[in-house]
Structure 1
Amino acid sequence: MTRSEQYQRVLRYFDRDGDGKVSASELSHRLALMGGELKLNEAEAAVESLDSDGDGLLGLEDFIGLMEKAGEEEKMKDLKEAFEMYDADRNGFITPNELKKMLMKLGEFKSVDECKAMIKQFDLNGDGVISFEEYKLMMQ
């Protein structure tokens, strides 16, 4: 099954009235059935922002955009959670000491100097720590 066929299949699931497009109410309703939550006004805003032909509905291409955007948001959420595991003091940066502690938890023993060298590889601005932006680039 191609990616396009997969998206068409998902679109058909969301498309309760069978018109080939997804309305805000269909989007909200189906997500609720799947255990998610998207209030109607949020669904309306999502549809409005992705509706390429102005009919107030999501066609296949619009729906693909929605699915890809949701996938990117999920990926970003996962990256943020992983970053926060390293950023023990929650200051927005991974320091050599924080990296050393996390690596120890993972069973890898490195010195602070080794951690500094690891950080230096991805430290774009040379401040000696890894910011979330640098972490995102490193993880891609």
Structure 2
Amino acid sequence: MYQRPDLYLKRIFDNVDRDRSGSIDAQELQAALSNGTFLPFNPETVISLIGMFDRNNSGTIGFNEFKDLWRYVTDWERVFRSFDRDNSGNIDFNELKQALASFGYRLSDFTISNILRRFDKHGDGTLYFDDFIQCLVVLHNITAEFSQIDTNRDGRIYIHYEQLLNMFVNTKV
């Protein structure tokens, strides 16, 4: 039986909204998301997601924000599966390298290794789905900050130390 997506999402939202407040906090959202390992979604990723979709800065998301977040996560899940070539449920170094290249990041193996190490929460040299999302959100936000200064688009910026600090402080991670 076909079910309208909004009704399906509303049922999920209502089940996750345990306190019946009409909004979902980080703990409730974490319970709604799956990273494919039967472990809770990475708390840092959950907080990042709420930060991205919490339009009124309440620290929670309402149903309309939840719909947008769900669509975002579902889209990233498709991307994740397309790069998980061996269907292992995680992204290894070579798969991450391919993913980043396809997104326009031209990075050295050394930098990719550092990125992998930074976001590998399980210490097994791979990224699970929630870690993959967090990695890409952070890279996107850092790139956006960098692009504001790289006005001639040559991939280089010349900044003072305080500017660098401000870039990191202003970057939503």
TM-score, normalisation: structure 2: 0.44
Measure the CA separation in 2 of the matches of 1:91 and 1:67.
24
Measure the CA separation in 2 of the matches of 1:91 and 1:10.
34
| Cα deviation, residue 10, structure 1 | 1.5
Match of 1:11 among 80, 88, 106: 80
- In structure 2, the residue corresponding to 1:22 is in which secondary structure? coil
| Cα deviation, residue 19, structure 1 | 1.0
Match of 1:58 among 110, 120, 127: 127
- In structure 2, do the counterparts of structure 1 residues 79 and 35 end up closer, same or farther at CA, with 3 Å as the change threshold? closer
RMSD: 3.0
Q: What residue ranges of structure 2 are gaps of 5+ in the alignment?
A: 1-69, 153-157
| Cα deviation, residue 80, structure 1 | 1.4
Matched with 1:46 is 115
**8 A Cα contact 1:25 1:43, kept in partner:** no
- In structure 2, do the counterparts of structure 1 residues 78 and 14 end up closer, same or farther at CA, with 3 Å as the change threshold? same
Matched with 2:140 is 71
- In structure 2, do the counterparts of structure 1 residues 13 and 39 end up closer, same or farther at CA, with 3 Å as the change threshold? farther
- In structure 2, do the counterparts of structure 1 residues 91 and 49 end up closer, same or farther at CA, with 3 Å as the change threshold? closer
| Higher helix residue share | 1
Which structure: larger Rg? 1
Q: What residue ranges of structure 1 are gaps of 5+ in the alignment?
A: 85-89, 93-130
Hey, which bits of structure 1, 4+ residues long, moved more than 4 A?
none
- In structure 1, the residue corresponding to 2:126 is in which secondary structure? coil
Within a 5 Å distance, the mapping from 1:1-140 to structure 2 comes to 2-33=71-102, 35-81=104-150, 133=166
Measure the CA separation in 1 of the matches of 2:92 and 2:159.
42
| Cα deviation, residue 91, structure 1 | 8.7
* Greater RCO, CA 8 A, separation 6+: 2
Matched with 2:31 is none
Measure the CA separation in 2 of the matches of 1:24 and 1:64.
15
Measure the CA separation in 1 of the matches of 2:159 and 2:128.
43
- In structure 2, do the counterparts of structure 1 residues 73 and 35 end up closer, same or farther at CA, with 3 Å as the change threshold? closer
Measure the CA separation in 1 of the matches of 2:129 and 2:76.
8
- In structure 2, do the counterparts of structure 1 residues 77 and 91 end up closer, same or farther at CA, with 3 Å as the change threshold? closer
